[in-house]
């Protein structure tokens, strides 16, 4: 996708130096500020524009982190923004590991990913814990190697480890969903990037979020959380969260319709009609028109519609709805 001309004039180097470096505002906080100003710019877009103007994991990050010892165990770096990121990170394939050597309880975040771009993007959310990204050989990956991201150990992250890895009856710990899990546009977007899929065929589409490693009751809890956000979904027989075509517009309106990273742009590659077109039942109810009468008029060609395939279900774009209004005098 091409650059938005307004973003180019707004998201300048001076802008990021002022808000990101001088005021130390995270990308989610900058997005929140811009929303109040009427600019609906997603976190991933902010990240990409900052990188284009040279603000990222380089000298500018060192300037932003002025502390003499950034991993001083007596200082907490944890913020609500970071908890939001951690929850999205851990809902997917990310993990936390506690230290067994340190006399002070601490933990670090780790991930092993196929794409360097994604790994660096992930780690950029927790730059205050001084992450590193390393490439290792891995025969199970198509490319033959894996990109591993790690933060340094810190007591902040140990508290999150306790939160996400409760003790089981056998005293062992297993990653499970905490009751206060953050379900936000950022956390769900990160979850989808890390452990979600989009499948499309003709006029059908399905998003799946891999949750098969969690207990079924935890997955049901997550589906309720997503439904609370207006996203139609359910837990399928594989213990994964499934979002069918009806719920897809709300899902992408929630997390954003553009990938923040190029390597996963295909996960967001949906045609515009998925968001603009309405189903026949929806149109008939909105306009107070008898469903069967509308279906008959479409069948005989009196009312136009859009079909994704020759035998696809009829959908109605704005021009079709205006045609229906005119026909019925609505």
pLDDT tens for 186-217 read 999 999 999 999 999 877 899 999 998 999 99
Take residue 6 and report the two structure tokens written for it.
């307004």
Q: Regarding beta strands 132-137 and 196-201, do their DSSP bridges make them parallel or antiparallel, or are they unpaired?
A: unpaired
Question: Domain boundary at 134, 164, 194, which?
Answer: 164
Flag whether 219 is in a domain: yes
What DSSP character marks residue 154?
A: B
**Best-predicted range by mean pLDDT (10-19, 91-100, 228-237):** 228-237
- Alpha-carbon span 114 to 143, nearest angstrom: 8
Instruction: Output 70 or 76, whichever has higher pLDDT.
Output: 76
169 domain-assigned: no
Domain count, the chain: 4
147-172 mean pLDDT: 91
User: Comparing 23 with 248, which gets the higher pLDDT?
Assistant: 248
Asked if residue 281 and residue 265 are part of one domain, the reply reads: no
Residue 175 placed within a domain: no
Where would I find the beta strands (DSSP E) of the chain?
95-98, 107-113, 132-137, 145-150, 196-201, 204-209, 234-235, 241-243, 278-279, 315-316
Distance CA 235, CA 142 (A): 30
245 and 292 share a domain? no
Q: Is the pLDDT of residue 33 over 70?
A: yes
Mean per-residue pLDDT of the chain: 88
Domain assignment present for 72? no
CA angle 165, 171, 177 (to 5 degrees): 25
pLDDT value for 5: 59
Residue 73 counted as domain residue: no
Same domain, yes or no: 104 and 53: no
Listed in sequence order, the residues at least 6 apart from 282 whose beta carbon sits closer than 8 Å to its beta carbon are none
SS3 65: coil
Confidence tier at 2 by pLDDT (50, 70, 90): very low
| pLDDT value for 70 | 47
Of 249, 273, 297, the position where a domain reaches its end is 273
Classify residue 213: in a domain, yes or no. yes
Q: Which residues contact 139 (CB under 8 A, 6 or more apart)?
A: none
Domain of 251?
A: 185-273
Highest mean pLDDT pick, 16-20, 167-171, 321-325: 321-325
User: Do 132 and 196 sit in the same domain of this protein?
Assistant: no
CATH code for the domain of 308: 1.10.1660.10
Q: What is the mean pLDDT of residues 236-253?
A: 94
Give the pLDDT of residue 57.
Answer: 54
**Which residue, chain included where needed, has tokens 């065929």?**
201
Q: Give percent of the chain with pLDDT exceeding 90.
A: 59
Is residue 119 within 8 A of residue 111, CB to CB? The reply is yes
Sequence-separated (6 or more) residues with CB below 8 Å from residue 285: none
The answer for residues whose C-beta is within 8 angstroms of residue 49's C-beta and 6 or more apart is 7, 11, 16
Place of tokens 């506690």: 98
Q: What average pLDDT does this structure show over 326-330?
A: 89
pLDDT score, position 3: 53
Q: What's the helix, strand, coil split of the chain in %, to 5? A: 45, 15, 40
Query: What is the CATH number for 125?
Result: 3.10.28.10
What percent of the chain has a predicted confidence (pLDDT) above 70? Answer: 93
């Amino acid at each position: 996708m091409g650059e938005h001309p307004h973003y180019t004039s707004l998201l300048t180097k001076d802008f990021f130096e002022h808000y990101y470096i001088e005021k130390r505002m995270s990308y989610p906080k900058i997005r929140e500020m811009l929303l109040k100003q009427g600019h609906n710019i997603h976190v991933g877009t902010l990240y990409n524009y900052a990188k284009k103007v040279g603000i990222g994991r380089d000298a500018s990050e060192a300037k932003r982190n002025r502390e003499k010892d950034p991993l001083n165990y007596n200082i907490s770096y944890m913020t609500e923004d970071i908890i939001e990121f951690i929850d999205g990170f851990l809902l997917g394939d990310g993990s936390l590991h506690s230290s067994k050597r340190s006399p002070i309880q601490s933990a670090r975040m780790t991930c092993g990913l196929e794409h360097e771009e994604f790994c660096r993007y992930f780690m950029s959310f927790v730059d205050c814990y001084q992450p590193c990204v390393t490439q290792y050989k891995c025969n199970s990956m198509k490319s033959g190697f894996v990109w591993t991201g790690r933060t340094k150990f810190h007591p902040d992250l140990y508290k999150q480890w306790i939160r996400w890895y409760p003790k089981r009856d056998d005293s062992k710990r297993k990653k499970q969903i905490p009751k206060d899990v953050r379900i936000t546009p950022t956390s769900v977007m990160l979850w989808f990037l890390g452990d979600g899929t989009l499948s499309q065929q003709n006029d059908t589409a399905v998003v799946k979020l891999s949750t098969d490693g969690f207990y079924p009751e935890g997955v049901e809890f997550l589906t309720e959380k997503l439904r609370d956000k207006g996203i139609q979904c359910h837990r399928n027989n594989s213990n994964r969260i499934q979002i069918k075509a009806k719920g897809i517009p709300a899902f992408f309106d929630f997390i954003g319709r553009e990938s923040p990273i190029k390597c996963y742009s295909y996960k967001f590659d949906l045609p515009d009609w998925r968001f603009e077109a309405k189903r026949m039942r929806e149109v008939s109810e909105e306009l107070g028109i008898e469903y069967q009468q509308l279906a008959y008029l479409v069948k005989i060609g009196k009312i136009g519609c859009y079909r994704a395939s020759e035998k696809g279900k009829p959908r109605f774009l704005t021009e079709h709805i205006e045609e229906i209004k005119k026909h019925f005098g609505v």
